[in-house]
Every structure is written in C-alpha cells, then in structure tokens.
Structure 1
Amino acid sequence: MYIEQGYKGDLGLWKYLFLPVGFIGLMAVNYILTINSSVSVEDAMQQMIEQWGANTVLVIALLPLAVGLFVVLGWTKLIHPQSITSLTTSRKKIDWKRIFFAFSLWGGVTILLTLIDIYASPEHYVFNFNLEKFIPLAIIALVLIPMQTSFEEYLFRGHMMQGLGLATKTRWIPLLVTSVLFGLMHMANPEVEKLGMGIMVYYIGTGLFLGILTLMDEGLELALGFHAANNLITALLVTADWTAFQTDSIYRDISEPTLGWDVLIPIVVVFPILLLVFGRKYKWTDWKGKLFGPVLTKEEFVATNDGESLLA
C-alpha cells in the first residue's frame, strides 16, 4: 500500500501542488527559451564545454537537480510532515538491497548491451578514455547523478504519485499522469532537438516502467536503483555530442543518430522482461489490483496493520 503511505503526513492540496507546479513551471520556461533561442541546444552545449570544460558543464547541469532532492525531502519532512521512509516505501524501513539489486542488474545489462554494440559496430565509436579527465568525471558522477535521479524519483514516483493517488483514489491516474509529465520534463533535451518528438515515446515509456515498478513493489527502491544505474553508466561509459550528458566518457558515439523502430525495443521488449524478472524475484501478485485498483480511504487504511501508526 505505497500510495496510502501519504496518509501518514498532514494532507493538504497546496502541500502536494507546490513542488510539482513549481518544477513543471521552471521546465516550461526552460523549454520556451530553448525553442526560441537562435542557437541550438547542441551548439550551446558545445560552446559551454569549450569555454568551461565538460566536467564543469556537467556540474552545472546536475547541481540544481541534486539540490532539488534536499528540497523534496525537506518539504516532506517539514511541511507535510511525513517521514522519508513512508515517502520511499511501504515497508518498515528502506530496503537498500532492493536498490542495489536494481542498480546492479540494469547496470550490468547496460554495460553488456553497450559493449556488444561497440563490438558489432566499431565504426560508430571512438575510444575516448583519458585518466586525467575521467577520474574527476567519475567523482562528480558518483556524487551528483544518484542525487539527480533520486530527486526525479522522489518528486514524480513519490510526492506526485502519492498526492495524485490520494486525491483521485485511483492508481492508474497517478501512474499515467506522472509518466507523461516525466517524459515532458525531457522536452528541452538535445536528444529531442536532434531526433524529434518521437523520442518522447521512450521517455514516457520509461516513466511508465518506473511507475509500474513503484506500484507493484510498493516502494521506490527498485526505481531508485534502476534510474541511478541508467544515468551513471551512460555518463561514464559512452556519450555523444547530441545527448544531455556530454562527458569525458570511456567511449564516444560518433554515429549519425536516427529515430527508428528501435526506440520501441526497450518499451516493448526490455522493460517487460525486467518486470517479469523483478516480479519473479519479489513474488509480485495481483497486478490488476496494484495498477488499476482503488486506493484505500484513510479510514480503511487506519483499519489495516499499515495504518496503525496513524492512531498514535
């Protein structure tokens, strides 16, 4: 009963609206400025990298989102007030083993698939490893990227998922709305400028996958681990001149990007397989109820064991 954990805070519409509206507003302003700029996102990033260096640009890109993590957690603790544990999971305590399992699984799969592609199409990649540049990159990435991805998970699959679920008493509405908003958040990325709006299928699909993970596992742990692995491995292993992360990674993709049916492979093949793997490992049941069933009322939740703490 992950969504119902929100009952453990002091409910109020403005408390759930303030952070999402503020963040989405900032993203909208950023998008408007981007599409009306005379300089493309790719060219602007290249100019910044030439002037300040790739690592400094990476810090500039990640730091606001890393700070955002503390804003979401602080808001939850001080304004709701609600424990960070109940924002994270329906379990008695945060399951770090779940986080590390998801991180290791997706990190390993990403590395394997990338190396296979490099072996199969060596002409698309150049070996870019420079120890002097890579060490500071690794330090920056290891510190800031998990904070950036955790901010996005706590805001969308945590704060917004619980708030929308309690407001609508449904599970499918917060699942759908947070997935779409998560995708729209990436509209100003250089990948969208380069490949077109079709790439939004991947972003929204990824949000849907992470939302299903959260609802089926009754907590954010798997989504936190998956998202951190996805962005961290991308930043360290292989990047390109047209991606959001342009770093001194081990490899650089120099191929000309095209948007084809392959964008659907993660959505229709890889993510369903991962859901089956997670579902088998953690013995998920009642898929229909957890994804489409009603959210308990506060009175119903209090009557369960999970709601006992509300009586204190």
Structure 2
Amino acid sequence: METFLDQARKGKTSLIRYIIGIFIIYFFIYIVGAAVQFIVAMAFGSSVNLGTLNISSITPLAYFVVTMCPAICGIIGVFISVRYVHQRPFSTLITPFKNINVKPILYGFGFFFLLLVLSDVLLYGLNPSNIQFNGSNISQFLYFLPFILVLIPLQTTSEELTYRGYLMQGTGLLTRNFLVLALINGILFLLPHIVNPEISAGGILAMVYYVVVGFSLAFITLKSGTLELAIGMHAANNIYESAIIHPQASILQTPSLFTQAAIDPAYELISIAVIMIIFYLVTFQVKPEWKRC
C-alpha cells in the first residue's frame, strides 16, 4: 500500500522543481500576502502608507485579519506548486487515500483541545494569579469569535500543508527515517516563528517549544499516514490560544476569555511535550487503525 511519503513520487520530483515550488510558496506568503494585507487594511479603513509600507490607525479586528493574510495566501502557493509544478493531485499532501477523512481531523481537534484545557487548569492551580478572566471583554470576544473560527483553521491548515505536507514529503525523498524527518521538520517549523514575540519572551526554551511542536506534529503525521490528525491538532492549539487563554506575549492579539499574564517557558515546554506524548499514546490505543506504520 502507498504511504504518505510515497505521494511525492506521484509527481515530478526533480530538485529544480522543488526549488521553484518553495519559491512560489514563500512568494505567495510574503509578497502576495503583504499586498493582500495592505488591501485588507484599507478595506477596514486603516491608514496605509505605501511609500514606507506602513499600516496605522488599525483596529484590533483589522489587525487580526491582516495577520492571517500571509498564511492563507500560502495555501494558493502550495496548490500551484503541487498541482502545476509537481503535477500531482493536491489531495496527496493530506492523504494517500482517495478521500479525505474528516473524523481524524475532528478527533485531533477535540482531544488536543481537551488536553490544552487540562494543562491550563493545572497551571491555574499552581499559580492562580497568572490567569485572569476578561469579563469586561465578553461582547468583543463574541464579535471576534466568528473571525477566529473561520480564519484560524485556514491559517493553521496552510502551515500544515506547507510543513507537514509539502516540505516533509519532499525531504522524505531523501530519507525514510521518521525521527530524522520529524526533527528536520521541527527545525523548519521554528524558522518562520523565530520573530514571534513568544520567542522574545521565552528565549531558547520558546525556540525549543516550536521545534517540539513541529517534531510532534510531523511524527504523528508519519505514524498515522495522513495529515488529518495534525490539521485538527494545530487548529485546536491556535483557536484555544486566540479564544480561550491568550498569553500577553503573543502574535495573535485577540480578546480571549482569559489572559495569561506571564509565560513560564519551562512549564510551556514541559506541558506541550507531555500533551503530545499523551495524545500519541491514547490516540493510537483508541484508534489503532490510524497507526498505519
């Protein structure tokens, strides 16, 4: 039976095509994405200075939507690269099967979301003063919520298609060692996030956090043989951070139900590692058919 990594061989796999494909993806993320940001900002009534490439007088909602634009544009870049540069079906980035299975996506979202809740319940027990309820922001939270629920899954799916899909299948042409592939993927996943405020707040431990997240999502994808679980998990993580408990030092500036005043990098790193291990062990015990290798 064909595996997730085998899907790359369905298309044209020369090095020059991967160079072109990667260029197209990041062109859509950073160049087309930036252009769309300015268009969206102007649509929201923000002041845009094209000479200095600066956006000012931007509302919180406009800022959130603008922040989502580059990653969402990346989906178009991935599609063009896979469909026209490598000349293979776009769905092969997600699954080796004929149809995409929604059940693993929903399971990944629900179970990972639950684990995040339990982790923050423990954090609250250890330091109640660090998590504050934003009772005065409920109306703004409800106003933001539809945008969060629509845009965040697009943003996270874009990253999954790029990193656990396109780049991991591409590196899978060089090696089939799952640990090596997952580690490479974790490092690649860190790179675009290295300018995030979470890195400035958490330092080296925050960098390791992103590597652990990327490694874990890659390893689970390789073991399950599809991208479906990772798509659900990543969406759960970012929706949870945007809508439920929002760290002050975060690139996602949204009116969440709770605010985490300070990030404890050590706790965040340990907790995400434990969450990923629990998710892996429980998932493939409950659904052993999802562990296809």
TM-score when scaled to structure 1?
Answer: 0.77
- Unpaired runs of 5+ residues, structure 1, are 30-47, 291-312
Instruction: Quote the Cα distance in structure 2 between the aligned partners of 1:22 and 1:172.
Output: 28
Q: In structure 2, which of residues 137, 149, 159 is the aligned counterpart of residue 142 of structure 1?
A: 149
Spell out the pairing of 1:50-199 with structure 2 (5 A cutoff): 51-118=57-124, 121-129=127-135, 130-168=137-175, 170-199=177-206
Which residue identity lines up with residue 143 of structure 1 in the other structure?
Answer: V
Spell out the pairing of 1:1-312 with structure 2 (5 A cutoff): 1-20=3-22, 51-118=57-124, 121-129=127-135, 130-168=137-175, 170-254=177-261, 256-260=262-266, 263-267=269-273, 269-283=274-288, 290=293
Aligned length: 268
Which residue identity lines up with residue 276 of structure 1 in the other structure?
Answer: L
Indicate the RMSD between aligned Cα atoms, in angstroms.
2.9
Range with bigger deviation, 70-79 or 117-126:
117-126
Aligned identity (percent) is 28
Deviation at 1:231, TM superposition (A): 0.4
Which residue identity lines up with residue 72 of structure 1 in the other structure?
Answer: V
Distance 1:172 1:25, change over 3 A: farther
Distance 1:25 1:195, change over 3 A: farther
TM-score when scaled to structure 2?
Answer: 0.81
Distance 1:7 1:175, change over 3 A: same
Which residue identity lines up with residue 113 of structure 2 in the other structure?
Answer: G
Pick 1 or 2: higher relative contact order, CA cutoff 8 A, min separation 6.
1
Instruction: Quote the Cα distance in structure 2 between the aligned partners of 1:141 and 1:285.
Output: 29
Distance 1:92 1:195, change over 3 A: same
Check conservation: 2:26, 2:74, Cα contact below 8 A.
no
Deviation at 1:246, TM superposition (A): 1.8
Check conservation: 1:184, 1:200, Cα contact below 8 A.
no
Instruction: Quote the Cα distance in structure 2 between the aligned partners of 1:21 and 1:174.
Output: 21
Check conservation: 1:24, 1:185, Cα contact below 8 A.
no
